[in-house]
């Protein structure tokens, strides 16, 4: 990511480092608040975070639907 803005007390690379934990709801309240403040003020991270969250959500939904075949898992893993 070209930008490395300091917004909400975090830089872009710091948000990206915890994005998976944020999507999973595993951040402490203080870090979560900082990530959300950063996302509110950084268009690049908001765009990437939204795309990341959508992919993770779609993958989880697809994998939970039925017992996935190995081919289905490989298809989603290569997206």
Q: What predicted TM-score, i.e. pTM, was given to this entire model?
A: 0.70
Compute the CA torsion angle 16, 18, 21, 27 (nearest 10 deg): -140
Q: Give the bridge partners for 11, in sequence order.
A: 6
Instruction: Kindly report, residue by residue over 59-68, the tens digit of the pLDDT.
Output: 888 877 666 5
Average pLDDT on 56-79 reads 71
Instruction: Kindly report, residue by residue over 24-52, the tens digit of the pLDDT.
Output: 899 999 999 999 999 999 999 999 988 99
Query: What is the rounded CA–CA span in Å between residue 69 and residue 30?
Result: 40
């Amino acid at each position: 990511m070209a930008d490395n803005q300091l917004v909400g007390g975090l830089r872009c690379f710091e948000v990206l480092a915890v994005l998976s934990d944020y999507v999973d709801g595993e951040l402490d309240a203080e870090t979560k608040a900082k990530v959300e403040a950063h996302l509110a003020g950084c268009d690049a991270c908001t765009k990437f975070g939204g795309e990341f969250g959508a992919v993770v959500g779609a993958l989880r939904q697809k994998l939970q639907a039925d017992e996935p075949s190995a081919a289905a898992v490989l298809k989603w893993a290569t997206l």
